[in-house]
Structure 1
């Protein structure tokens, strides 16, 4: 029997994780025909049918289900090898940083130019991602998060405390009495964030005119006079409502996998990014 190609095994696991051929293709950034072809190649090498093909989609076969636990163990070993290789590499190469979209756009990206000389030989890849990436799968080298992870193999440190303010344009405040205020908030997917829970209590039944899962959209709606929102300090310049104190503050965490943290380039980048966050947000 020929030795299976690890990349083919990766496609097999992507279909399992994503739930469908098309979703796996999107997650891998390829066409669905590529996913199908790579799985067929793996089936040929293994001599088993991993999926039963139906008109409504693919279903894991009995043989595929039997091989799945071992395939996942192989994936863990490969990812561990790659993390250790990153840790053992020299100080040159790329470093991928994952951060919430608004943090990436308004706090990290504007300051990277000032770090260029200190990052000589290092290329930064900045992923603006609302969902948390999996550091154990090397989806990023450094992650910026609002929640502290609890996994024991992750190194964490607080890099900033983000303060939130009740915000509106001066024109909106001049044309609306307090009892006429209308609000802009996070949608249901973010309804349990501290800032949205506080805003709901403050609104006290007054109407919302706009919801979004995107902080940049919420901030834009405020700047164009759509209503009142609670915004982080790096988006609140010129919009803070006087004498309206919000108690909401959130710690921002830098997270790195222990294996990757051994890499000189990752350590150097992490230290510089931490310094970047120590400067006031604009």
Structure 2
């Protein structure tokens, strides 16, 4: 009989495509992944992967086993979610995934309030630019800025992020035609706020690009130019002022999502109510 842990390591390798990527996800070194996969191959008397310098493609036999392993992984994760939903333990840890700015500026400042009211629930907050894979148990509940498309998830719209153009008072006093801009890099041109920003440039330059909102805000605070920021960041920054723009600024909905099995637990329901309340208060769906 093969080792179930060996199969788990192989399943992650099959999905990620390389020893190094699998090792990062599993939190081990790549030699451990290689050793586990070799052990599974020995147990099954099959060669599952071709070991190339930069990747580990599956053999035909490996692809067949990987399909079954993926099914087993889904069942394992479903069992874990069901167990978390059934537990009524006095203490619990709930893992939350949210966009970095939402995590740092909307959720984290209110954690102290939550802890006072629910000291037995520990929040594990991850600010991530990618959507956490709830089906792989990367998080228990996720806050997202795009409507989730995965099947079987509970989905609730809990707020709306309103954007505006911000700069220092000195920059705001300059003639509009001399204004320079701060933006995301071109790989994020598809984002709603980036599309809007490019639409109002009118030939004016983007002189600095940053991959996250924190970098853009700091550059704007330094007087480099104007940046499109969420109002919950710009309005609360005493060094920035909102600029008048003819083109209406964008609005992005905020979604709360989790699996029904997980959300049955009292701790999860408590956390989801907390997230919906604080985000709905700070970023109401209808602008005040």
TM-score category of the 2 structures, normalised to the smaller one: over 0.9
1:276 aligned partner: 278
2:105 aligned partner: 106
Provide, for residues 61-111 of structure 1, a one-character-per-residue CA deviation record: whole Å limited to 9, x for no partner: 232122121111111111111111111111521100000011111111111
**1:243 to 2:244 alignment:** yes
Structure 2 residue ranges without an equivalent (≥5): 284-288
Contact 1:165-1:240 at 8 Å conserved across structures: no
Contact 1:221-1:227 at 8 Å conserved across structures: yes
Q: 1:27 Cα deviation (Å)? A: 1.9
Contact 1:87-1:260 at 8 Å conserved across structures: yes
**1:58 to 2:56 alignment:** yes
2:121 aligned partner: 122
Aligned pair in 2 of structure 1 residues 215, 242: CA closer, same or farther (>3 Å)? closer
1:150 aligned partner: 149
**Equivalent residue for 1:220, pick from 218, 221, 228:** 218
Aligned pairs for 1:159-174 (under 5 A) are 159-174=158-173
1:45 aligned partner: 43
Aligned pairs for 1:5-84 (under 5 A) are 5=4, 7-84=5-82
Q: d(CA) in 2 for partners of 1:3 and 1:42?
A: 6
Provide, for residues 192-218 of structure 1, a one-character-per-residue CA deviation record: whole Å limited to 9, x for no partner: 111111111111221100112211111
Aligned pair in 2 of structure 1 residues 59, 278: CA closer, same or farther (>3 Å)? closer
Q: d(CA) in 2 for partners of 1:23 and 1:168?
A: 40
Aligned pair in 2 of structure 1 residues 131, 228: CA closer, same or farther (>3 Å)? same
Aligned pairs for 1:89-104 (under 5 A) are 89-91=87-89, 92-104=91-103
Q: 1:225 Cα deviation (Å)? A: 0.8
Q: d(CA) in 2 for partners of 1:108 and 1:167?
A: 22
Q: d(CA) in 2 for partners of 1:108 and 1:142?
A: 13
2:265 aligned partner: 263
TM-score (norm 2): 0.91
Secondary structure of the structure 2 residue equivalent to 1:53: coil
Contact 2:13-2:21 at 8 Å conserved across structures: yes
| Number of aligned positions between the proteins | 278
Question: What is the CA RMSD across the aligned residues, in angstroms?
Answer: 1.6
**1:141 to 2:140 alignment:** yes
Secondary structure of the structure 1 residue equivalent to 2:56: strand
More deviation in 190-199 or 41-50? 41-50
Structure 1 residue ranges without an equivalent (≥5): none
Once superposed, which parts of structure 1, at least 4 consecutive aligned residues long, lie more than 6 Å away?
none
Q: 1:50 Cα deviation (Å)? A: 1.3
**1:229 to 2:227 alignment:** yes
Q: d(CA) in 2 for partners of 1:3 and 1:105?
A: 44
Contact 1:4-1:46 at 8 Å conserved across structures: no
